[in-house]
Structure 1
Amino acid sequence: MPIMNLLVAFNGTASAEAALRYAASIARDRQAHVTAMLAYSTHDTLDTSSRWIPREARALLSDAKNDLLREIEAQLDALRGDLQLGDGLSFRAAPGRVDTILAETGRTFDMIFAGRPLVGDDAHIRLHPDKLALMSGRPLVVVPEGYDADARHSHAALAWDGGRAAARALSDSLRLLEAQGRVSVLTVGSAPGLEDLLLHLDRHDVDAVHEAWPEGHPVAASILGYCRRNDPALLVMGAYEHSKFREDFVGGVTAAVLRETPIPVLLSH
């Protein structure tokens, strides 16, 4: 099935702009449609209903939030010419819990794109890609700030451990892997199903090579080091094969890769 309908979580940050540009580069090649969505929280970081906050201050806080939303929409309008999507780009805004709105909306799209969160992101528009990957049921591409979407590559990397999440990521990304034409399969230690995986990619006309590290090598560091040295256009991996709580508690592979990746990462759960 072709990739024709893409959702971008667009909150005006530098990484959100990188995600939008990356999604647009994919859409132009396929004549797909991109929806840029601004999800924003209606919850105030201060209790503005408190009688201790003067009416004038409450009005200023409300105006500041509305100004932020208008600035983000204006930023998207300023990008339309560069994106070259014409009528293939639409915008919508929705209030509510940011991650929930994006996850529920994304279930009717082929793929979701989001920027890597930045420390200074405003609380009203802050999103969490790890939660989107778990909640949406759709493949999620996380793009780091400053990534050059116009840098054409013909190479992707696939992290493979033979698990359920890795298999889901393979299926979700197959159309993109076919377009790249060359895939490096990355394994650390044992990797059940590796030979069948390489045969599967070959039958989809994907030129696959195997890059292996022995048991005991740190998984996240091995994957990230390979991406820094070889600069593939995309890293594909399963997200949270173990519980997210466990990964957060012990510092898991998914969190480490999202935090440090130099390239876009496609996550599936």
Structure 2
Amino acid sequence: MSYKTIVVHADLSRHAPGRIRIAAELAKAHGAHLIGVAATGVSRDIFPHGYHAAPDSLEASYFQPLHDTAARALEQFAAIADEAGVPSEGRLVCDLVSDALARLGRFSDLVVVNQDDLAEALTDTIGRVPEYVVFTCARPVLVVPCAPGRRSPGEHILVAWNGSKEASAALRAAVPLMQRATRVTVVSFQIPGGAGLSDAGEDADLIAFLSRHAIRVEMLAIRRNIDNGHHLLTLAAQDGYDLVVMGCYGHTQFRELFLGGVSRTVLQDSTIPLLLAR
């Protein structure tokens, strides 16, 4: 198995080159087509058929710079993709970043975005992009952390498992990456004195499922509550994992997102790339 279409957010933020390079490296490894998505940051409710403001008009004085910025972002994307030697195309979308990625992400195998960086706070990237895309595009999302110096993830993979449908979706989405990994560990957290989140029968079925995809896995059960996500991040950092795979929990109401405690903590605090699905 492999990813055949990868979508990556293209903008002019300080994190964009690293994010695009990771997406390009994954595209090259999987023989995938890479699509860079640059958005104007203006809802398509304003321009439902794209940007067509008359030159020198009041509308153009506001919206044309946003359009030009997105175009420059695609030039940067194209240069990085060409350098990596992967087939690619750029899409300039007149929409909010989150909605543009979610919509085009539905026609991909993987979407690559950055962890939100409120310190940078570009007007076209505010809006809790990672979780919105996870909840609305129905595709796995690779969240690249803001922490610098990360290589392409997937050599040492840690999978958070509790038997839920969200965890199952994340496990399935990570199969192409796990097939290329040198170490895969599935960890389940068990509340001391309480029932475990998985049993021996489920563990055996999980191992058998992955083995049929030529994936060797180590099972790890930790007698500790994973109530806030910090234990998962500590384990991943201490043991040298370069990717955490987990289901994303919560629900969306209009554009308001309500995340479970573990999902919220991991998205906000991780310095390790995350593969999220639900």
Which category describes the TM-score, using the shorter chain as reference length?
0.7 to 0.9
Select the structure that is richer in helix: 1
Residue 244 of structure 2 is aligned with which of 212, 235, 238?
235
Distance in 2 of aligned mates of 1:249 and 1:102 = 20
Offset, 1:249? 6.4
Task: Letter of the 1:211 partner, please give it.
Answer: L
Deviations 1:53-108 (CA, angstroms, capped at 9, x unpaired): xx9998764464345334323432443454332xx121111012322221111111
Percent identity over paired residues: 24
Query: Are residues 1:6 and 2:2 paired?
Result: no
Offset, 1:158? 0.3
Distance in 1 of aligned mates of 2:241 and 2:42 = 39
Offset, 1:253? 0.8
Offset, 1:9? 1.4
Q: TM-score, with normalisation over the residues of structure 1?
A: 0.82
Q: TM-score, with normalisation over the residues of structure 2?
A: 0.80
Offset, 1:38? 0.6
Distance 1:35 1:244, change over 3 A: same
What corresponds to 1:196 in structure 2?
A: 205
Q: Unmatched 5+ residue regions in structure 1?
A: 44-54
Distance 1:151 1:6, change over 3 A: closer
Distance 1:35 1:196, change over 3 A: same
What is the correspondence of 1:54-69 to structure 2 with a 5 Å cutoff? Answer: 61-62=62-63, 64-69=65-70
What is the correspondence of 1:115-264 to structure 2 with a 5 Å cutoff? Answer: 115-119=114-118, 120-126=120-126, 128-148=129-149, 150=151, 154-189=155-190, 190-192=196-198, 193-240=202-249, 242-243=250-251, 252-264=261-273
Distance 1:118 1:162, change over 3 A: same
What is the correspondence of 1:27-46 to structure 2 with a 5 Å cutoff? Answer: 27-42=27-42
Distance 1:213 1:101, change over 3 A: same
Deviations 1:212-238 (CA, angstroms, capped at 9, x unpaired): 321435450111001211232321100
Distance 1:248 1:69, change over 3 A: closer
Task: Letter of the 2:168 partner, please give it.
Answer: A
Offset, 1:139? 0.6
Report the count of equivalent residues: 255
Task: Letter of the 2:20 partner, please give it.
Answer: L
CA-atom RMSD, angstroms? 2.8
Offset, 1:250? 8.0
Offset, 1:116? 1.1
Asked whether the equivalents of residues 39 and 95 of structure 2 are also in contact (C-alpha less than 8 Å), the reply is yes
Distance in 1 of aligned mates of 2:67 and 2:99 = 21
